[in-house]
């Protein structure tokens, strides 16, 4: 995850037996090597731009004419954007190849078809054992051809066709599977007209991974790390980006610090940093991000210089928009003519050379730039030139450079210019909103909360500031609406005079909306009719601090006189509660019971609800968390049993309230009781219960917003929301207001409160934008209101967490992540479903699954692609006797199957392709590798083997080869044969009823060794074409050399032969090499430094003692060539040393530790190759 360096060192470390976690280094190499990757894409039918590696200008010209210009040209060793150029014509190609790179066999170039006007798309994904477990798609603003580090990224994509998205997801799935990826990977696509092509795949975290993780709220690095380590994790976790929110990343450049650098975006990376911002759409996010880089928006004058006619046409609507917005437009010659022809008023500015000093400054472009008279310079250079040498300076370059040097904002890309102009035209207010920041701790956004029982001690005391204190504390704690209880500490709102005092007090300052209630007394039933229109409800007190009703009989008059469309509230308990419920039933009135604290009362309310009474109730939050066990003298608190009963009957409780319990408890604790006591404790107490699993976020929202709003017909609080950080532990410290939570750890800190679309409070402190609340007492009640049903408490952690989003456009940053998601999703540790070590169980998907498609599951042992390849086999039930049977197309098929076998072994170990099949092996000569690898290959394919030892067979009794083969054909489905006679393979084939596979026939051929040798070269170096292969040692009797040379005739390679004269290559094989012009580079009896320096492959062979009739001749020749570290000093660092083994002294043991030593890896390749061959011959 540290850029490209880890990928570069992964394979060398792997070859030194270092354990590499995650994706196999060999698969990383497959993605990094353009030849291997290209073959892999072809094999899984994923498209890619046409490309070719070329070694001469004529070849390059021919290829470019074939695919048509423009093309991308780069030196072959370059994988990313460095030294890359876009070429638009043959003269450009010739000039670039002449100046930038010297094209030759030693310095090839790679030319790729460049697709104009295509959109570049970024895919960041995580896989486990080749199965995608998370992915996100970002789109580039700029057309393809701009380095991804310099590109502007949009997430989620805004302009991609669903068909394009599905094709990208499918291609990503196939690539992840083909590379058997475990961990992160990034793929860059280009798309045009719904056709997608893969540019490159990086098996690592990309530069866009942090951007994607932060925007979507899903830590891809954490997921990837857990996948790599085999730790359980959740695939496709829910995202935290709300609907209608977009993230945009823009690059940060430092051209002003790079003297002379041309500030034009291209395939080489030029940016030095990145900034990302959120917005309600891509334009808002883009302009915020751009401003964050230091870009200054234009105030008046804008200069336009647009090169190509295509760009002029594309920019015209945007330029017209600028003119209509009142900007003064300036333009260079061609641009000015074009705009004036289209009736766009523009002032022409001219670029003159240094010698023309008489130019009028009012028409001088350079003067305008130098005098900072231009607020924005849009310079879109023509894309028909290759990057010129440093000594050439065009006028366009000079003006761009001036803009940078004089700090004039500069835009050089047409897509960036268009999105910038549209963003300016939308006139965003740039106010900080709830989704402008992302934090590592989870945040939930709730609609503005409602406190239905707000206690104001000095409610009827003239000049009291308690109302101001309570509303200020309420808004800071997330309550944008309070219902003020009519009873204070020393008085109550019982008539018009007292109500007037309360109203006057409210004018001293109200930070949130509120409404008043009136209290019933034994004698004011007639008087309160005068204030009915100025209060929201009637409160009948029985157990408050003052002005309680002593007789239930006195209540009857209030039931008769109070308007039926306004609610009645009471705090009656025990027998008083029963009487009130009876009266409410007799009068068919709705009744709300506040501050329920006992088991008997909550049970009675439960019974009343079951009988169909229109009754609702609330419980003070303090009553749920503090009991008489905590404060023995607090008789107003519930007992521990009562408190347990309240939790058991949570489904009966409609509303959470605050009430006067906190004030009473503060008084009991002999603290200075502040009017705001208890308000700030409410959400921390409730969200601590969420963390403990006793409540869900949905429970809190229902009881502090949804139900109060319906029960009391509260007005719609448009533009009100509260943002709460729900999982960061916080130790409560002593403050100005007494709290029983001091020293305790809680959760649920209120970060931001939005009120009337303005940020009213930030981290508990009021902002300058804070707006006064309104008296909503006269808000009319709907006559047809129905009593809401209380939601059931979800004691388990898998309950739905929240309902619909609030209407406010502010503060929505993470709200949607809780819609339909579980509250358990707040912390990874509490998630209920995990990926346990392997991505093989049905993942639990949140809302992202609906957006990103169906879950992905492991495929069966035999993949569809392998089944397809095996179905094409031309060798089914055929003998494999000689390499002459194989065409290049056959080899391609064989190697494609071998790649599939490699993946299958890595994933499954043993496949079931040849289950039920039996292979007989018969070796008349000693063998370790060939015999063991065929045995292992058959068993890896699910088949069985019978190995016949010739020393214990009927051969010693004189049985002929023909009879032996006929016998084995009765037992097995195929026979692998090695025999010292050169004619043995053809003889066996003549008499065998089953396929014969030649494991070596004397010194003539060894086809399966040649297959694995060729496969090794292909896998180690990426391609066979264009290589120089040097054969050393015993070329006369080396059957592996003979077979490999024949196979190499299918490829454009150079061959060097180094051997003693007596062991030189047989004439018929040498003639085969010479028949292909230019293939034979040299024939030598010495391995010179020059020969070694040219070599890409050094193929060593053992001088075979068993082939010599004269042992003295063997002793003379056996140590002719010895490869050691001293020899390899002259070799390329990328060269590989191969040997069919066994070896004697021809390769020193010290070479084994050189990563160029491929002969032990060669054996592993042999397993896959022989598995492929057996499957192609025997698969049903």
- Report pLDDT digits (tens) over 532-559: 888 989 999 887 655 567 666 678 888 8
Average pLDDT on 1157-1176 reads: 93
Task: Give yes or no for residue 821 having a pLDDT over 80.
Answer: no
CA distance 1125 to 298: 66
pLDDT band at 32 (very low <50, low <70, confident <90, very high): confident
Number of domains, the chain: 5
What pLDDT was estimated at residue 267? Answer: 56
628-651 tens-digit pLDDT:
999 999 999 999 999 999 999 999
Task: Give yes or no for residue 867 having a pLDDT over 90.
Answer: no
Residue 584 lies in a domain: yes
* Percent of the chain predicted with pLDDT > 90: 44
What pLDDT was estimated at residue 106? Answer: 65
Positive or negative: CA dihedral 842, 843, 849, 852:
negative
H or E, element range at 1178: helix 1159-1178
Residue 997 lies in a domain: yes
CATH of the domain at 518: 3.20.20.140
1041 and 1156 share one domain: yes
CA distance 228 to 794: 35
414 and 485 share one domain: no
994 and 1092 share one domain: no
* Percent of the chain predicted with pLDDT > 70: 86
What pLDDT was estimated at residue 263? Answer: 65
Report yes or no: 470 and 828 within 8 Å, Cβ to Cβ.
no
Residue 93 lies in a domain: no
115-128 tens-digit pLDDT:
878 888 999 999 99
DSSP per-residue string spanning 688-757: HHHHTTS--HHHHHIIIIIHHHHHTTPPP-TT-EEEEE-S--EE----SS--TTTT-EE--EEEEEEETT
Single out the residue of 40, 23, 18, 45 nearest to residue 186, CA to CA.
Answer: 23
What pLDDT was estimated at residue 820? Answer: 34
What pLDDT was estimated at residue 1146? Answer: 84
Treating both helix axes as pointing N-terminal to C-terminal, what angle do 1159-1178 and 929-940 enclose, rounded to 10 degrees?
A: 50
Single out the residue of 554, 609, 795 nearest to residue 690, CA to CA.
Answer: 795
Helices marked H in 100-200: 162-178
CA distance 539 to 518: 6
What pLDDT was estimated at residue 1107? Answer: 59
Average pLDDT on 921-947 reads: 91
CATH of the domain at 1131: 3.40.50.1370
- Helix (H/G/I), strand (E/B), else coil: 620: strand
What pLDDT was estimated at residue 122? Answer: 92
Task: Give yes or no for residue 357 having a pLDDT over 70.
Answer: no
CATH of the domain at 144: 3.30.470.20
Residue-range definition of the domain harbouring residue 1171: 1007-1178
Q: pTM here? A: 0.70
H or E, element range at 470: helix 466-476
207-260 tens-digit pLDDT:
889 999 999 989 999 999 999 999 999 999 988 787 889 999 998 876 656 665
What pLDDT was estimated at residue 565? Answer: 86
End-to-end CA distance of the chain: 44
CA distance 1055 to 699: 78
pLDDT band at 845 (very low <50, low <70, confident <90, very high): very low
More confident residue, 855 or 18: 18
1041 and 979 share one domain: no
309 and 343 share one domain: yes
Single out the residue of 506, 473, 583 nearest to residue 538, CA to CA.
Answer: 583
456 and 412 share one domain: no
CA distance 804 to 1006: 72
Average pLDDT on 345-370 reads: 70
Candidate from 257-261, 731-735, 1101-1105 with smallest mean pLDDT: 257-261
More confident residue, 436 or 306: 306
Domain boundary among 211, 236, 261: 236
229 and 257 share one domain: no
Locus of tokens 């393809």: 144
pLDDT band at 920 (very low <50, low <70, confident <90, very high): very high
1135 and 1013 share one domain: yes
Average pLDDT on 1022-1046 reads: 90
935 and 1035 share one domain: no
579 and 672 share one domain: yes
CATH of the domain at 373: 3.40.50.1380
654-710 tens-digit pLDDT:
999 999 999 999 999 887 778 999 999 999 999 999 999 999 999 999 999 999 999
318-352 tens-digit pLDDT:
999 999 999 999 998 889 999 999 999 999 888 75
Task: Give yes or no for residue 389 having a pLDDT over 60.
Answer: no
pLDDT band at 825 (very low <50, low <70, confident <90, very high): very low
What pLDDT was estimated at residue 789? Answer: 39
Residue 870 lies in a domain: no
Inter-CA distances, 955 with 919, 948, 968, 971, Å: 19, 10, 13, 17
pLDDT band at 502 (very low <50, low <70, confident <90, very high): very high
Average pLDDT on 851-870 reads: 61
Dihedrals phi, psi of 516, to nearest 5 degrees: -100, 160
> Which burial class, exposed, middle or buried, applies to 422 when counting CB atoms under 10 A from its CB (0-12, 13-18, 19+)?
middle
When the pLDDT of each residue in the chain is averaged and rounded to a whole number, the result is: 84
Single out the residue of 530, 575, 583 nearest to residue 555, CA to CA.
Answer: 583
More confident residue, 13 or 957: 13
What pLDDT was estimated at residue 83? Answer: 57
Q: Cis peptide before 156, with omega less than 30 degrees from 0?
A: yes
Report yes or no: 693 and 795 within 8 Å, Cβ to Cβ.
yes
pLDDT band at 419 (very low <50, low <70, confident <90, very high): very high
707-720 tens-digit pLDDT:
999 999 898 988 89
Residue 489 lies in a domain: yes
149 and 257 share one domain: no
Question: Pseudo-torsion of CA 469, 471, 476, 478, nearest 10°?
Answer: 150
What pLDDT was estimated at residue 268? Answer: 60
Average pLDDT on 459-469 reads: 92
What pLDDT was estimated at residue 660? Answer: 92
Report yes or no: 979 and 1005 within 8 Å, Cβ to Cβ.
no
Active site residues: 929-930, 957, 978, 1006
Residue 344 lies in a domain: yes
Average pLDDT on 14-18 reads: 87
64-99 tens-digit pLDDT:
989 888 888 877 655 454 456 778 888 888 877 776
Locus of tokens 């309420």: 474
Domain boundary among 731, 766, 801: 766
Domain boundary among 1001, 1021, 1048: 1001
Residue 109 lies in a domain: no
248-307 tens-digit pLDDT:
999 887 665 666 566 676 656 666 788 999 999 999 999 999 999 888 999 999 999 998
950 and 1032 share one domain: no
- Helix (H/G/I), strand (E/B), else coil: 909: coil
Residue 1156 lies in a domain: yes
Cα 115 vs. chain centroid, distance in angstroms? Answer: 26
Inter-CA distances, 212 with 248, 328, 1118, Å: 10, 39, 62
Task: Give yes or no for residue 1176 having a pLDDT over 50.
Answer: yes
């Amino acid at each position: 995850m540290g850029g490209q360096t880890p990928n570069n060192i992964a394979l060398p470390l792997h070859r030194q037996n270092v354990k590499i976690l995650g994706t196999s280094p060999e698969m990383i190499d497959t993605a990094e090597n353009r030849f291997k990757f290209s073959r892999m894409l072809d094999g899984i039918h994923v498209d890619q731009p046409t490309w070719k590696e070329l070694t001469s200008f004529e070849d390059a010209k021919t290829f470019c004419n074939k695919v048509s210009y423009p093309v991308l040209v780069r030196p072959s060793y370059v994988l990313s954007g460095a030294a890359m150029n876009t070429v638009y014509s043959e003269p450009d190609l010739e000039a670039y190849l002449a100046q930038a790179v010297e094209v030759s066999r030693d310095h090839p170039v790679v030319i790729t078809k460049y697709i104009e006007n295509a959109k570049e798309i970024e895919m960041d994904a995580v896989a486990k054992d080749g199965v995608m477990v998370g992915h996100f798609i970002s789109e580039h603003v700029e057309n393809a051809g701009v380095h991804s580090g310099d590109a502007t990224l949009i997430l989620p994509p805004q302009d991609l066709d669903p068909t394009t998205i599905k094709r990208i997801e499918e291609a990503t799935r196939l690539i992840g599977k083909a590379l058997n990826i475990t961990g992160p990977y990034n793929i860059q696509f280009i798309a045009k007209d719904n056709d997608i092509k893969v540019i490159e795949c990086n098996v690592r975290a990309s530069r866009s991974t942090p951007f994607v993780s932060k925007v979507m709220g899903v830590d891809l690095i954490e997921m990837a790390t857990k996948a790599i380590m085999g730790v359980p994790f959740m695939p496709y976790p829910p995202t935290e980006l709300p609907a209608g929110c977009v993230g945009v990343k823009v690059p940060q450049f430092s051209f002003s610090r790079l003297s002379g650098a041309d500030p034009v975006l291209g395939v080489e990376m030029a940016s030095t940093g990145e900034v990302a911002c959120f917005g309600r759409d891509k334009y808002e996010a883009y302009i915020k991000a751009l401003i964050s880089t230091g870009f200054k928006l234009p105030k008046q004058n804008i200069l336009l210089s647009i090169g190509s006619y295509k760009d002029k046409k594309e920019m015209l609507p945007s330029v017209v928009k600028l003119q209509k917005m009142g900007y003064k437009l300036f333009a260079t010659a061609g641009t000015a003519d074009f705009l004036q022809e289209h009736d766009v008023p523009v002032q022409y500015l001219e670029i003159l050379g240094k010698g023309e000093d008489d130019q009028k400054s009012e028409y001088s472009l350079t003067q305008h730039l130098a005098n900072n008279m231009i607020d924005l310079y849009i310079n879109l250079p023509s894309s028909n030139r290759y990057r010129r040498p440093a000594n050439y300076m065009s006028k366009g370059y000079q003006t761009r450079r001036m803009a940078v040097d004089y700090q004039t904002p500069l835009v050089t890309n047409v897509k960036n210019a268009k999105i910038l102009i549209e963003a300016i035209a939308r006139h965003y207010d740039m106010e900080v909103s709830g989704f402008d920041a992302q934090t590592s701790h989870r945040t939930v956004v709730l609609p503005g909360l409602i406190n239905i029982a707000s206690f104001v001690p000095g409610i009827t005391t003239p000049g009291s500031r308690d109302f101001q204190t309570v509303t200020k504390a309420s808004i800071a704690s997330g309550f944008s609406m309070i219902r003020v209880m009519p009873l204070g500490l020393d008085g109550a709102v019982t008539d018009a005079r007292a109500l007037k005092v309360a109203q006057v007090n409210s004018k001293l300052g109200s930070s949130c909306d509120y409404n008043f209630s009136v209290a019933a007394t034994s004698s004011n039933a007639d008087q309160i009719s005068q204030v009915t229109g100025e209060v929201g409800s009637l409160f009948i007190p029985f157990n408050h601090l003052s002005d309680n009703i002593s007789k239930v009989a006195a209540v009857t008059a209030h039931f008769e006189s109070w308007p039926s469309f306004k609610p009645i509230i009471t705090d009656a308990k025990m027998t008083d509660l029963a009487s009130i419920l009876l009266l409410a039933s007799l009068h068919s009135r709705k009744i709300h019971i506040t501050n329920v604290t006992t088991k008997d009362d909550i049970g009675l309310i439960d019974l009343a609800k079951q009988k169909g009474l229109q009754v609702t109730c609330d419980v003070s939050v303090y009553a749920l968390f503090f009991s008489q066990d905590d404060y023995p003298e607090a008789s107003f608190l519930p007992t521990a049993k009562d408190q347990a009963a309240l939790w058991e009957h949570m489904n009966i409780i409609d509303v959470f309230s605050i009430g006067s319990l906190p004030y009473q408890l503060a008084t009991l604790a002999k603290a200075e009781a502040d009017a705001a006591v208890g308000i700030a404790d409410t959400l921390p107490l409730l969200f601590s219960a969420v963390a403990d699993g006793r409540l869900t976020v949905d429970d809190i929202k229902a009881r502090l917003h949804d139900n109060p709003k319906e029960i009391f017909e509260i007005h719609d609080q448009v533009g009100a929301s509260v943002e709460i950080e729900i999982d960061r532990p916080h130790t409560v410290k002593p403050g100005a207001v007494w709290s029983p939570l001091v020293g305790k750890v809680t959760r649920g800190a209120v970060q931001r409160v939005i009120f009337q679309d303005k940020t009213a409070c930030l981290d508990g402190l009021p902002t300058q934008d804070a707006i006064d609340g309104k008296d909503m007492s006269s808000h009319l009640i709907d006559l047809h209101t129905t009593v809401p049903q209380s939601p059931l408490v979800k004691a388990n952690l898998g309950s739905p967490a929240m309902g619909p989003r609030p209407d406010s456009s502010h503060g929505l940053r993470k709200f949607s992540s809780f819609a339909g998601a579980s509250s358990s999703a707040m912390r990874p540790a509490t998630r209920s479903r995990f990926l346990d070590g392997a991505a093989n169980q049905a993942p639990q998907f949140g809302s992202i699954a609906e957006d990103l498609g169906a879950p992905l599951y492991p495929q069966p042992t035999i993949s569809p692609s392998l089944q397809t390849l095996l179905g094409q086999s031309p060798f089914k039930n055929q003998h494999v006797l000689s390499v002459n049977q194989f065409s290049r197309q056959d080899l391609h098929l064989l190697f494609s199957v071998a790649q599939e076998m490699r993946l299958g072994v890595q994933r499954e170990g043993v496949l079931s392709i040849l289950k039920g099949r039996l292979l007989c092996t018969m070796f008349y000569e000693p063998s370790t590798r060939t015999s063991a690898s065929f045995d292992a290959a058959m068993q890896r394919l699910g088949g069985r083997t019978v190995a016949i030892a010739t020393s214990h067979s009927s051969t010693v009794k004189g049985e002929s080869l023909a009879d032996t083969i006929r016998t084995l054909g009765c037992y097995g489905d195929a026979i692998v044969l090695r025999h010292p006679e050169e004619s043995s393979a053809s003889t066996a084939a003549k008499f065998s009823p089953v396929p014969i596979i030649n494991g070596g026939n004397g010194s003539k051929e060894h086809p399966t060794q040649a297959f694995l040798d060729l496969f090794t070269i292909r896998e180690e170096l990426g391609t066979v074409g264009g290589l120089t292969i040097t054969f050393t040692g015993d070329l006369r009797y080396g059957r592996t050399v003979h077979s490999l040379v024949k196979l190499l005739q299918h490829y454009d390679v150079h061959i060097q032969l180094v051997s003693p004269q007596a062991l030189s290559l047989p004439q018929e094989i040498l003639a085969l090499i010479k028949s292909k012009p230019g293939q034979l580079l040299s024939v030598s009896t010495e391995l010179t430094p020059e020969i070694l320096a040219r070599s890409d492959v050094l193929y060593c062979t053992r001088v075979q003692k068993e082939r010599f009739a004269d042992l003295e001749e063997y002793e003379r020749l056996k140590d002719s060539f010895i490869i050691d570290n001293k020899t390899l000093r002259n070799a390329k660092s990328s060269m590989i040393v191969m040997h069919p083994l066994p070896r004697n002294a021809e390769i020193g043991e010290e070479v084994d530790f050189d990563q160029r030593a491929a002969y032990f890896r060669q054996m592993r390749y042999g397993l896959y190759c022989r598995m492929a061959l057996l499957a192609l011959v025997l698969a049903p």
